[in-house]
Amino acid sequence: MGEVDGSRARAADGGAAAGGERLAGIILGFPERVARELKAWRASFGDPLAEVIPAHITLVTTTLTQDWDETVRHVREVAARAVPFRVGLDGTGSFRPVSPVVYVQVKEGFEECVRLHAELQRGPLERELPFPYHPHVTVAHDVPEERLEEAEAALSSYSESFTVASMGLYEHDAGGFWKLREELEFGASTDRASGSGRAG
């Protein structure tokens, strides 16, 4: 699964869509302090993606769309109906053995993330997912098993809480990088929903 990044990280599939098709991703960003702390933890477990992928919760991952303008309208409409909510991070979990991933669990705000995901993954972004959607914050991915175990233990008592009030719409560009196209404030008019501010 390709992770969305605000600073030009390559997606896992390594390239943009062909022809007029484009790849979209949508995330909830974190306050700078929390993002910086989780980045440091991820780097400490030897995950090279720590340097290029900021801490976030993915709402929509690497989804093909054939109509970018319609996709933007759709995401703006979902954002306009949404309201800010609290996210509470607490403890760790893992997708092993299916995937070599350790994550920080989303406790508070889990259902809000699920509802946003369900609304977003409709219309121009509708597709069948290989696994059920599960909000989480990756802290170690595709590193040796002992580092995964270290990550799961080290952050088992991690706890943090903050408000999210926007979501970022990203495009996987022709160079194979994720680039922020719009940061959409929750509850904003669809006429005003644009720009490149930070979430959280």
CA-CA distance, 194 to 168, in Å (whole number)? Answer: 10
Question: Which residues in the chain show pLDDT less than 70?
Answer: 1-20, 190-200
Residue 199 C-alpha from the chain's centroid: 11
Q: How far apart are CA 115 and CA 67, in angstroms?
A: 23
User: According to the model, what pLDDT value does residue 10 have?
Assistant: 46
- Cα–Cα distance, 161 to 109 (Å, whole number): 10
Q: Order of strands, edge to edge, in the sheet holding 56-65?
A: 56-65, 22-29, 166-172, 178-185
* CATH classification of the domain holding 48: 3.90.1140.10
Range of the domain at 73: 22-185
Cis ω for the linkage preceding 100 (within 30 of 0): no
Is 190 part of any domain? no
pLDDT computed for residue 3 by the predictor: 53
Instruction: Give SS3 for 112.
Output: helix
Query: Is 11 domain-assigned?
Result: no
Structural domain tally of the chain? 1
Are 180 and 6 in contact by the 8 Å Cβ rule? The answer is yes
Q: Per the domain annotation, does 1 fall within a domain?
A: no
Please check whether residue 153 lies inside any domain of the structure.
yes
Which pLDDT score, from 0 to 100, does residue 5 have? 44
In a domain, 65, yes or no: yes
Q: Is residue 15 part of a domain?
A: no
The answer to whether 70 touches 124, Cβ cutoff 8 Å, is yes
- Helix, strand, or coil (residue 141): strand
Residue 159: the pLDDT is 97
Specify the pLDDT at position 178. 85
